[in-house]
Structure 1
């Protein structure tokens, strides 16, 4: 981006006669790397910064503008992703076991593994018969319990208050001259 901007600037300057042309003049230049620690490297850094000063300022303005817009978009995307994941976990808990069971059965058939009868009573490892079916044990005791733990863990990490805080934070952002200012969200933020 810097090189393209510098090329355009030099072309314009040559066109209006501000810059001389000739052999070894107007070479492509770039900023000196920060890791260069040889003698004179600080001088080269300053010279390259001076030569590209207009381009560096333009890029910093671009980063400031786009970065603030990106921050607001990322904040909104984060809340949507968290809400969507919570919903997907609940839907998967409710309807996901039959899909997984079909995949397990297909795997067992492909590898010649005996498929257990889900309507038989579940037998614990020391061969004690229970009054629950295999279906109940694998679907409720294992599958749904694990998803409940995951949902709880997710809820602990992203509480309702935290989600509301994230949603309403954009209302107080100074980015783009308070373009995302929202009085209602700001009032909700003060209530949290």
Structure 2
């Protein structure tokens, strides 16, 4: 994928913005008061509707290092409170007591009132909004593997739709509307693209090619690669097989064929004799479990494994219990290690990765990639 320095710059500027605007309770109060006044005016003019759950109070929350949903909430808050953010920055620039913060406020005002910032704000909002539902599914405590895989496929298809003229046009309509609302100068997409770092050097491309192909499509291509790498056909099949162990809904997903297929993927743990024994053991196991009320209200594989030990059924069905342990410990959804990245410290570390689907893998990778291009 292409290096997109500007995307990393954008997130860096958002981080600085949060430091300046949220530096004191007074500024937070100013931001909230300005936004409340904007909402009241908009309601009075009939620009926005009222009703239960509408126009709830927003804030500029600091995102987690690699949590997509928290970054999405931050960008959503920035877009909704943009006018109020500008007001607070203007106040800091003019009346702030800290010289350093005043300089930062001036730089932030200059940057966030450019076409670039409006474009990257809405580009990342569009992408993160699309993946936000998947993020929540992957983080759910019940780790519903079947629904997670279904959501992955749906998200992949929606991302592919974005990489069309319709997706590009939709993004640009939002960008132009935002620029018009906030008096931000727009660019003619047919004009030659000028690299701000080398303004005298001809780039040979126009603005549309740069923003569409080199930025928007480049990020979408990376996302597609990550989805295919992390959720390829083999991994998805293993996860579906693993879901047959789920005790939820009275073991409604139990499937002997899928569990035997799962065991075959681990010949070091299940030899030929084990496979023959496992086939019979699975039948005895499910019959026994379904007639034991202690197992009737379970929801998670981990709880099932624990209760099997507590009831000593792990001794009666050792191969089934071995399969449960594999499901809880083996990295089948991804490689054995996963990169965790902290933008705050600019450090990367490798940690062991368990099979738990709740870890939002692609979130880590895309944000790591964006920041690593700095």
Tell me the TM-score normalised to structure 1 length: 0.52
**Match for residue 83 of structure 1 among 149, 153, 171:** 153
- 2:189 aligned with 1:118: yes
Structure 2 residue ranges without an equivalent (≥5): 1-140, 266-374
Q: List structure 1 segments (4+ residues) > 4 angstroms apart after TM superposition.
A: 172-179
Q: Larger relative contact order (C-alpha < 8 A, sep ≥ 6)?
A: 2
1:132 aligns with 2:218: no
Deviation at 1:157, TM superposition (A): 3.2
Structure 1 pair 163–113 and aligned structure 2 pair: CA distance change class (3 A): same
CA distance in 2, matches of 1:173, 1:110: 51
Question: Could you say which residue in structure 2 is the equivalent of 1:8?
Answer: none
Q: Is 1:153 aligned to 2:241, yes or no?
A: no
Cα shift at 1:105: 0.8
Instruction: Spell out, residue by residue over 1:110-136, the C-alpha distance to the aligned partner (whole angstroms, 9 max, x if none).
Output: 222221111112121222222212111
User: Which residue matches 1:74?
Assistant: 144
Distance 1:144 1:96 in 2: 10
Alignment of 1:18-167 (within 5 A): 74-94=144-164, 95-125=166-196, 126-127=198-199, 128-167=201-240
- Per-residue CA deviation, residues 43-97 of structure 1 (Å, 9 max, x unaligned), is xxxxxxxxxxxxxxxxxxxxxxxxxxx96x9222111112212222222222422
SS in structure 2 of the partner of residue 152 of structure 1: helix
Q: Take 2:174 and 2:167, find their aligned partners in 1: how far apart are those partners?
A: 11
Cα-Cα RMSD: 2.9
Secondary structure in 1 matching 2:188: coil
Task: Go from structure 1 to structure 2 and tell me whether the alpha carbon gap of 1:110 and 1:157 turns closer, same or farther (over 3 Å shift).
Answer: same
Residue 243 of structure 2 is matched in structure 1 by: 170
Unaligned 5+ segments in structure 1 are 1-69
1:138 offset after TM fit, Å? 0.6
Cα deviation for residue 186 of structure 1 reads: 4.5
